[in-house]
Amino acid sequence: MSEVTRILDSLALGNPQAAEALLPLVYEELRKLAAVKMAQEAPGQTLQATALVHEAWLKLAGSQHLKFQSRTHFMVAAAEAMRRILIDKARRKRSQKRDQGGPRMELDESQIPQDSASDELIAVHESLDRLAQDDASAADLVKLRYFVGMTMPEAAVALAIPLRTAERLWAYARAWLRREIRSLR
Amino acid sequence: MNGGQSSPDSREKEIFLSAIDKATPQDRAAYVNAACAGDDKLKAAVEELLRNHVADAFLEQPATLIDAAAKAQRRKAAAAGSPFAPGELFAGRYRIVGLLGEGGMGQVYRADDLKLGQSVALKFLPPALATDPVWLLRFRNEVRIAREVSHPNVCRVYDIGEAEGEHFISMEFVDGEDLTSLLRRIGRLPQDKAVEIARQLCAGLAAAHARGVVHRDLKPANIMIDGRGKVRITDFGIAALADQIQGKETRAGTPSYMAPEQLAGTEVTTRSDIYALGLVLYEIFTGKKAIEGTSITQVERAQSRGAPPTPASHVRDIDPQVERIILRCLEPDPKNRPRSAMAVAAALPGMDLLAEAIAAGDTPSPELLAEAGESGSLPHWVAISCFVGVVAGLVTIIGFKDKTNLLLLVPFNKLPEVLAERAEQVSERLGYTNVPADKAYWFRTDPAVMRYLTNSPPASNRWQRLASGWPAAVVFSYRAASQKLTPQQPDARVRWSDPPFSEPGMRRMNLDTKGRLISFHAVPPKFSETKLTNQEADWSLLFREAGLELTNFNRVDSNWTPEMYCDIRVAWTGTHPNWPTETLRVEAGSFAGTPVFFELRGPWTKTPNPKPGNSQGDRPLYGTVLSVVWAVIFFAVLATAAYFARRNLFTGRGDRTGARRLGLYIFLLSLGEFATTTHAWVFWGNVTRAFATMAGTAFLTWLLYIAIEPSARRYWPHTLISWSRLLTGRIRDPSIGRDVLGGCFGGMFIKVLETVGGQLPQSWTGADPTEPFIPGRAALLSGGFHVVARILDGLGGAGGVMGIFLFLLLLRILFKRNWVTAVVFVGLWGIGIINTPSAPLAAWVWSFSWATIIVVTTIRFGLLALFVMFVSMGFIESFPATFDFSAWWAGIGIIGPLFVIGLASYGCWVSMAGKPLFKDEVLAK
């Protein structure tokens, strides 16, 4: 029995502290998997996050009889891990651009071609913790949808909530994050 | 932020979620106002949330794909070069293997479909297409149609998709090379190989055309040949689209394969593809381009110079058949090109498309059938001897029939108009002086007289009795009324008791052919103001009109009850001057002194003798059961036909064009027939009913044709070749001529057998060979419209043909072999004869030869011949033809045989395929 499954079992038994230990393990697992994938694929290949997360889960659950809630725990942890991987990547990219941009950036930031997508990524990332404080499940949904790239039905299954509830939660989370990000600008 | 205070935020969420369910902005605002109830901070927060509840891209694109979108943008920016590297994963499903080619329509990659583990070709659309919604829609439609084309020689289009900002099509990957590079590599193809490739090209193109898909850009670069030599036509529909989207740019790419009308910008049809096909075939067989040039103007100039150099100028030993078909494809006028790719294939050497389709287990399409192999032309000597045979047969038939022609035996020299005038004269003399508002008249045979003479002792001259005109074997019937005669039968023909003989003012009579009165009926008035006198009429008037003398007759008691009311009834007996040995009885009646009833009753008149008992009571029940059984059978057949028709229509197997034409043909013929025979155009009820009947018949024909024809086409296609050609309107096709001629010959042959067989002694056939009869329909003797109606009826009315053909088809499907079908059919036909108890040997022989001729005609020539056979039999038997041209009706009678001769000469001429009858050198001498 691997470390991850042990923790998942303990989580399922109602031990909330175990979640703290789960994240780094899943993070490592996903990084390893991603590295293998990247090596196989051609350079510059998009990371297929959803596939990656599912593959990691299958690797785990394929041989073990894990409790149903374990899947939700795992998915949430994997989404958080994915979020960190992507943010690291986006931050690295940003700093590269700044370096290339040189002194011009100091003069007028708007003149520099911005990668608006990674800006959105970082903005969402920064507001997401505040959303998690207000409504943890809304934040989990955003992680699964936005960072893992799950479809709405997939995310609803991962969180073990009805699809209709997931859709309403999504509407709320989007409006909330959008309001938050705009109020900061 | 208000971290710990979870209650305001959870209320915020609650209010927000309820608010977005409200239908209108007004409802929403009202709800928020009420829900926040004075909490301005909460209200502001919720309103801000609602303002941010908009359907934009925010968060909707997963962060993991953001990279991909950026990459796609970069790819578009770098339009040139190869954006996909081998090994790259596209759309999460396809691994790019490598670039296959690049054309006006964008780049094509070979890729592995990871989901299905197959190789596919991916074609990426140029951005110009992807951004315009109108073109995108058209593009989807085209791909949808192209996907319907399922043929081994057409490259399959799988799907259309959009991923990473690219629109793409996935399609069958063909492991081979295109025709351009093949030709560049090896020059021209050896002839047998070229024919094989040409055949596959035609098959693929025909399959697409059958689905209404026009390629519009057929060229060697769009033709792939795989490792096993199998041809695939690629870029169906898509190529057409590229042409439209990119306008002149794309045209500039490949104008050298465009038909003149395509270059001119007029309509592009399947025949434009045929032109391109011609160019491709030219190149395959010669290794040279027929038209050089890369720009529109160059090509137009080349085309306007006239036909390209003949293929033979490049390759001397090219098959002349191939050369001819290539040059026909390259005709500048689309009308002069072959009508279909199938026709091109059919013209290639050594092609039997039909055999191939049957071998492949396919149901050949009507077009394929029409183009199928055989030309069907007959050698001159066969065609001409058949024609001569038909004429000789007709002469024989008429010659034999003249010997027993009743019309030649009785005194028959008065025209119907003359007899009608005579009938009016009789009425007038009997006191009916008012001019009738409407009248109708016709000839008929009196079966009672014929029966009487048949049963009389067979003296050598018993039929000679009829030559004196008495008893009257041929009767002239006349009806008149003071209103319009409106018959009740759907065909609206006036008959002896239709309309019912009940209205005052109606009168009817029978005259013999010399104009002597045989019977007279009149309906007495319903109401009379004057005091009725019970006086007798002047009977001598009636006797004089009948050519008799009252004084020669003895008054007896009347014992026949007239149909109409009489206040006085009288009767006499005596003899007819033309036949003094037999007793003649005269019955008459009058009303108010006017004769209303008069009849001559010879010994041939049967005495009505109703038998007592309840046999009359049984009949109605029996009749009801029988009609119920027939109704059930009819509806069962109808339901079955409807089921098959529906299925054939859905699967596209039914020949809609053929069925429509046949239905229309039947409708027009019956319309014409009705229009020429009806007596009651003014009576609207009749007309609508007749129209309903005609439309019903036409619809039934259509339905049955849709239901049955595909099975015939599938299991017995050879019988439908000329039929299909006729239905596609190719009336000059030699096979049609051959089958029409064959049908005429068969019909004539049956009639000759029948006529000659009729001459056999009575002990063999059971029928007296000397018994005279009218060799046709007596109604035709009235001439005019009746003749036209009969011609129309004869052309369409051989309804039994379809029944016989259906029966033969069922046998053929069951037994799978022509000869078994033939034997079983003839055998079953015989069973029908066994049922008739007193069938002598001759009837057997006759019936078997009849069945044999039918089955041989159908198997050897097909449905068209069977149809023509019945049509010609109808014409031969319904027109009373004679060689005695002094007879006034000879002109009417000869129409039938002349019609058959006309049909046969058309068949003879067309079956010789327009080849001159005499060779030029013969004429030159």
**Tell me: the pLDDT tens digits for B178-232?**
888 888 877 778 888 888 888 889 988 888 888 777 887 888 888 888 878 889 9
β-pair partners for B512: B475
Question: Hey, of A178, A182, A183, which one would you mutate to test binding to chain B, going by the most B CBs within 10 A of its CB?
Answer: A178
Residue B487 phi, psi (nearest 5): -65, 155
pLDDT value for B836: 58
Residue B109 phi, psi (nearest 5): -115, 150
Q: Which two three-digit tokens encode residue B593?
A: 């002194």
Q: Which residues contact B685 (CB under 8 A, 6 or more apart)?
A: none
Q: Does the beta-carbon distance from B87 to A124 stay under 8 Å? A: no
Q: Does the beta-carbon distance from B53 to A147 stay under 8 Å? A: no
Helix (H) or strand (E) holding B162: strand B157-163
A136 interfaces chain B, CB cutoff of 8 Å? no
3-state secondary structure (DSSP) of residue B916: coil
Q: Measure the CA–CA gap between B443 and B438, rounded to whole angstroms.
A: 18
Q: Measure the CA–CA gap between B411 and B145, rounded to whole angstroms.
A: 74
Over its C-alpha atoms, chain A yields an Rg (Å, rounded) of 18
Q: Measure the CA–CA gap between B311 and B329, rounded to whole angstroms.
A: 13
Q: Measure the CA–CA gap between B307 and B287, rounded to whole angstroms.
A: 17
Q: Measure the CA–CA gap between B178 and B231, rounded to whole angstroms.
A: 9
Q: Measure the CA–CA gap between B526 and B532, rounded to whole angstroms.
A: 13
Which chain A residue is nearest to residue B95, measuring alpha carbons? A41
Other Cβ atoms within 10 Å of B635 Cβ, number: 11
Q: Which two three-digit tokens encode residue B887?
A: 């007879």
Q: Which residues contact B696 (CB under 8 A, 6 or more apart)?
A: none
Amino acid at B852: T
Chain B residues within an 8 Å CB radius of A179: 48-49, 51-52
* Higher local confidence (pLDDT), B641 or B374: B641
pLDDT value for B230: 87
Q: Average of pLDDT values for B533-546?
A: 86
B77 interfaces chain A, CB cutoff of 8 Å? no
Q: Measure the CA–CA gap between A150 and B497, rounded to whole angstroms.
A: 88
Residue A151 phi, psi (nearest 5): -80, 170
Q: Which residues contact B120 (CB under 8 A, 6 or more apart)?
A: B94, B110, B111, B112, B113, B158, B170, B171, B172, B173
Q: Measure the CA–CA gap between B120 and B113, rounded to whole angstroms.
A: 6
Q: Does the beta-carbon distance from A121 to B87 stay under 8 Å? A: no
CATH of B176-351, one of 1.10.579.10, 1.10.510.10, 3.40.50.300, 3.90.550.10: 1.10.510.10
Q: Average of pLDDT values for A139-147?
A: 88
Other Cβ atoms within 10 Å of A98 Cβ, number: 11
* B202 within 8 A of B104, measured Cβ to Cβ: no
As a whole-number percent, the residues of chain B with pLDDT over 70 amount to: 84
pLDDT band at B244 (very low <50, low <70, confident <90, very high): low
Cα-Cα end-to-end distance for chain A: 48
**What is the tens place of the pLDDT at every residue in B83-134?**
676 666 787 788 777 777 766 566 788 888 877 878 888 888 776 666 667 7
Tokens 């036409």 locate to: B698
CA distances to B93, B406, B451, B772 from B768, rounded to whole Å, are 89, 14, 12, 9
Give me the sign of the Cα torsion angle B343, B345, B349, B355: negative
Q: Which two three-digit tokens encode residue B486?
A: 């409106």
Tokens 């031969």 locate to: B876
Q: Measure the CA–CA gap between B645 and B707, rounded to whole angstroms.
A: 4
Alpha helices in B37-178 (DSSP H): 40-51, 63-77, 127-131, 133-148
* Higher local confidence (pLDDT), B717 or B479: B479
Give the gap in angstroms from C-alpha B32 to the nearest C-alpha of chain A. 15
Closest CA to B216 of B239, B200, B232: B239
Q: Average of pLDDT values for B516-540?
A: 84
Residue B719, pLDDT above cutoff 80? yes
Residue B98 phi, psi (nearest 5): 175, 165
Query: Which ipTM value was assigned to this complex?
Result: 0.79
pLDDT value for B3: 40
Residue B44, pLDDT above cutoff 80? yes
Tokens 């026709």 locate to: B343
Other Cβ atoms within 10 Å of B706 Cβ, number: 26
Residue B679, pLDDT above cutoff 90? no
pLDDT value for B922: 42
Q: Average of pLDDT values for B23-37?
A: 83
3-state secondary structure (DSSP) of residue B247: coil
Of the candidates A133, A135, A145, the beta carbon closest to that of B13 is on: A135
Domain range list for chain B: 6-51, 85-173, 176-351, 413-420+431-468+472-601, 644-911
Closest CA to B693 of B683, B701, B682, B704: B701
CATH 3.30.200.20 is held by the domain B85-173 = yes
In the DSSP assignment, the letter for residue B222 is G
Q: Measure the CA–CA gap between B318 and B311, rounded to whole angstroms.
A: 7
pLDDT value for B865: 93
Domain range list for chain A: 3-184
Edge-to-edge strand ranges of the sheet holding B176-178: B176-178, B223-226, B231-233
Residue A108, pLDDT above cutoff 50? no
Q: Measure the CA–CA gap between B810 and B708, rounded to whole angstroms.
A: 10
pLDDT value for B6: 43
The pTM score is: 0.60
Question: Hey, of B52, B61, B73, which one would you mutate to test binding to chain A, going by the most A CBs within 10 A of its CB?
Answer: B52
Q: Which residues contact B617 (CB under 8 A, 6 or more apart)?
A: none
* B813 within 8 A of B717, measured Cβ to Cβ: no
For chain A, how many residues are written? 185
Q: Which of B178, B217, B319, B438 is catalytic?
A: B217
pLDDT value for B158: 86
Q: Measure the CA–CA gap between A130 and A123, rounded to whole angstroms.
A: 12
Closest CA to B30 of B47, B55, B51, B48: B47
Q: Measure the CA–CA gap between B146 and B138, rounded to whole angstroms.
A: 12
For chain B, how many residues are written? 925
pLDDT band at A101 (very low <50, low <70, confident <90, very high): very low
Q: Which residues contact B618 (CB under 8 A, 6 or more apart)?
A: none
As a whole-number percent, the residues of chain B with pLDDT over 90 amount to: 18
Q: Measure the CA–CA gap between B825 and B810, rounded to whole angstroms.
A: 10
Residue B139, pLDDT above cutoff 80? no
In B727-802, the DSSP E strands lie at none
Over its C-alpha atoms, chain B yields an Rg (Å, rounded) of 42
Of the candidates B49, B61, B88, the beta carbon closest to that of A175 is on: B49
Chain A residues within an 8 Å CB radius of B88: 41-42, 45
Q: Measure the CA–CA gap between B377 and B683, rounded to whole angstroms.
A: 51
A93 interfaces chain B, CB cutoff of 8 Å? no
Chain B residues within an 8 Å CB radius of A117: 61, 63, 66-67, 69-70
Residue B249, pLDDT above cutoff 50? no
* Higher local confidence (pLDDT), A111 or B157: B157
Cα-Cα end-to-end distance for chain B: 119
* A95 within 8 A of A149, measured Cβ to Cβ: no
**What is the tens place of the pLDDT at every residue in B460-488?**
678 888 888 888 889 999 999 988 888 87
Least confident of B245-249, B559-563, B808-812: B245-249
Which chain B residue is nearest to residue A117, measuring alpha carbons? B66
Q: Which residues contact B437 (CB under 8 A, 6 or more apart)?
A: B481, B482, B483, B484
Give the gap in angstroms from C-alpha B155 to the nearest C-alpha of chain A. 30
Q: Measure the CA–CA gap between B254 and B280, rounded to whole angstroms.
A: 13
Q: Which residues of B581-607 are buried (b: 16+ CB within 10 A; e: fewer)?
A: eeebbbbbbbbbeebbbbbbbbebbee
* B69 within 8 A of B165, measured Cβ to Cβ: yes
pLDDT value for B510: 94
β-pair partners for B107: B102
pLDDT value for B395: 95
Mean pLDDT, chain A, as a whole number? 73
**What is the tens place of the pLDDT at every residue in B273-313?**
899 999 999 988 888 888 776 666 777 777 776 677 888 88
* B573 within 8 A of B594, measured Cβ to Cβ: no
pLDDT value for A96: 64
Residue B351, pLDDT above cutoff 80? no
Q: Measure the CA–CA gap between B547 and B517, rounded to whole angstroms.
A: 8
pLDDT value for B798: 61
Helix (H) or strand (E) holding B853: helix B841-860
Q: Average of pLDDT values for A64-76?
A: 74
Least confident of B161-170, B353-362, B781-790, B850-859: B353-362
Residue B594, pLDDT above cutoff 80? yes
pLDDT value for B799: 63
Which chain A residue is nearest to residue B88, measuring alpha carbons? A42
Q: Measure the CA–CA gap between A79 and A145, rounded to whole angstroms.
A: 9
* Higher local confidence (pLDDT), B162 or B904: B904
pLDDT band at A42 (very low <50, low <70, confident <90, very high): very low
**What is the tens place of the pLDDT at every residue in B60-80?**
777 765 555 445 544 544 444
Residue A146, pLDDT above cutoff 70? yes
Mean pLDDT, chain B, as a whole number? 81
Q: Measure the CA–CA gap between B102 and B121, rounded to whole angstroms.
A: 12
Q: Measure the CA–CA gap between B107 and B105, rounded to whole angstroms.
A: 7
Q: Measure the CA–CA gap between B338 and B336, rounded to whole angstroms.
A: 7
Q: Does the beta-carbon distance from A178 to B64 stay under 8 Å? A: no
Residue B503, pLDDT above cutoff 60? yes
**What is the tens place of the pLDDT at every residue in B858-900?**
988 889 999 999 999 999 989 999 999 899 999 999 999 999 9
Catalytic residue list contains B217: yes
Helix (H) or strand (E) holding B444: strand B438-445
B14 interfaces chain A, CB cutoff of 8 Å? no
pLDDT band at A48 (very low <50, low <70, confident <90, very high): low
